[in-house]
Amino acid sequence: MEVMVVMEVMVVDDDKDMCNLYELNLIELGYKVSVFYFLFWLYAKALMQRDPTTLIFHILQPFLITTYQQKIFSIVMDFARSAQIKGDYLEFGSYDGLSATLAYHFSRRSGNMKMHLYCFDSFEGLPKITEIDKTKGIFFKKGEYSCTQNLFEKNIKRRGVDTRFVTIIPGWYENTLNTETKKKLPLTKASVILIDCDLYASTVEVLAFLTDYIEDGTVIIFDDWFNFSGNPEYGEQRAFREWLARNPEITATEYHKVGWSINSFILHKKENI
């Protein structure tokens, strides 16, 4: 009798194992089917866009969002698309081309195939450090983060960026962020802006230049928002606060913080509200 009971229990356990295995097989099959249809959709979308680089990026993209910059670009480009914010992409502090690459591919992923990229950089690293950017425990150096324009161009091409959609404005900001540059560029509105300048002095120059390009819904990303130990009296935080005070027609809604250093804002113009 005891043997029969044990055998009966064993049979029941085997049945449960078979049921569990069957359920796992169904789940695995469903997952494979979902992945297949997802990849097929991406392939069809890329064919319609006739952009093989975008196809590759679409397929790999779910596995590539591993850095803070990738995450913020994914978020803001999707916002610009869904909110229908017209305009181009401007970045100040291009370094080796990674941010320009992300802006290009994530804008295309979001369906904005015509967004143009304007990249402002000295390509000689940081400028001379002024007294206001010299604080205890923070040591920036002139020439730090230097990357030549030639290497920048090679990097973005290697990473699949169509350079017909990229305009590079080389030089120190004191020489390039002016009315003359504005007259030369076919730029009217900014949809997404990246400020990656580290320093207060540089950020002041950038924001003054940007004012005319702001529209209701423009997204501005500060890559170094929490530099200087997050102290609002220094760096990008101070420059942004002072800029808003000088331009009361512009207000800002804090958007996404990513990682330890990045913050972003949606800008508004009062006449459009």
Tens digits of per-residue pLDDT, 180-236? 999 999 999 999 999 999 999 999 999 999 999 999 999 999 999 999 989 999 999
**23 vs 132: which has the higher pLDDT:** 132
255 pLDDT tier (thresholds 50, 70, 90)? very high
59 pLDDT tier (thresholds 50, 70, 90)? low
In this predicted structure, the answer to whether residue 40 has a pLDDT above a threshold of 80 is: no
Question: Which pLDDT score, from 0 to 100, does residue 61 have?
Answer: 52
Per-residue DSSP letter, 129: P
Please compute, for residue 4, the number of CA atoms within 13 A of its CA located in the half-sphere on the CB side: 1
What does the DSSP assignment read for 38-61? HHHHHHHHHHHHT-HHHHHHHHHH
- Residue 61, judged by CB atoms within 10 A of its CB (0-12, 13-18, 19+), counts as middle
**Mean pLDDT across the chain, nearest whole number?**
83
Tens digits of per-residue pLDDT, 77-96? 999 999 999 999 999 999 99
For strand 219-222 and strand 190-195, is the pairing parallel, antiparallel, or unpaired?
parallel
Mean pLDDT is lowest, of 40-54, 68-82, 160-174, for 40-54
32 pLDDT tier (thresholds 50, 70, 90)? low
Mean pLDDT is lowest, of 22-26, 173-177, 178-182, for 22-26
Residue of 58, 154, 69, 79 lying closest to 103 (CA atoms): 69
Instruction: State the Cα angle at 92 between 190 and 214, rounded to 5°.
Output: 20
SS (H, E, C) 141-162: CCCCCCCCHHHHHHHHHHCCCC
Ramachandran region, residue 141 (left: φ > 0; alpha: ψ -120 to 50; beta: rest): beta
Asked if 98 contacts 84 with a C-beta cutoff of 8 angstroms, the reply is no
33 pLDDT tier (thresholds 50, 70, 90)? low
**58 vs 259: which has the higher pLDDT:** 259
67 pLDDT tier (thresholds 50, 70, 90)? confident
**108 vs 51: which has the higher pLDDT:** 108
Place of tokens 């993209």: 61
pTM, two decimals, is 0.76
> Which residues lie below 8 Å from residue 169, measured CB to CB, with a gap of 6+?
118, 119, 120, 121, 176, 181, 185
Structure tokens at 2: 């005891």
